[in-house]
């Protein structure tokens, strides 16, 4: 599991955010380690709750309420693993094809 995705997963649990809010924050380029200072609305009443804050800045930047396709962190990790496995198998096929073409037993003298 990627360290970056682990941070997002812990932020999701710690600040009780939905998949939608996590994806919006990732698209905005927010740092999950800084959410503690952003989610301080109980001590500082002028601050909006974190989910509301994320929705507001997402709308300001992208001019839409939510992402078109919402993918959970868990699904993203599964997709990344599958992509890495596919890439690894393709690389192994290329290597085996290269070693067969460079095989000295097929070389004529």
Long-range contacts of 3-11 (CB under 8 A, 24+ apart): 5/73, 5/76, 5/77, 5/80, 7/32, 7/33, 8/32, 8/73, 9/73, 9/74, 11/35
Spell out the per-residue pLDDT of the chain, length 109, in tens: 688 999 999 999 999 999 999 999 999 999 999 999 998 888 888 889 999 999 999 999 999 999 999 999 999 999 999 999 999 999 999 998 888 777 656 555 4
User: What's the pTM value of the predicted model, to 2 decimals?
Assistant: 0.78
Using alpha carbons, select from 99, 75, 79 the residue that is nearest to residue 87.
79
Sign of the CA dihedral with 33 first, then 36, 38, and 39 last: positive
CB atoms under 10 Å from CB of 95, counted, come to 10
Sign of the CA dihedral with 72 first, then 78, 79, and 84 last: positive
Cα 40 from chain centre: 25
């Amino acid at each position: 599991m990627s360290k970056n995705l682990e941070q997002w997963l812990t932020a999701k649990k710690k600040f009780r955010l939905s998949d939608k809010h996590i994806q919006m924050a990732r698209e905005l380029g927010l740092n999950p380690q800084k959410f503690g200072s952003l989610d301080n609305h109980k001590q500082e009443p002028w601050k909006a709750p974190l989910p509301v804050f994320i929705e507001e800045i997402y709308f300001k930047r992208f001019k839409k309420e939510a992402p078109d396709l919402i993918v959970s962190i868990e699904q993203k990790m599964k997709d990344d693993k599958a992509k890495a496995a596919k890439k690894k198998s393709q690389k192994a096929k290329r290597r085996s094809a290269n070693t067969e073409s460079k095989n000295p037993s097929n070389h004529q003298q």
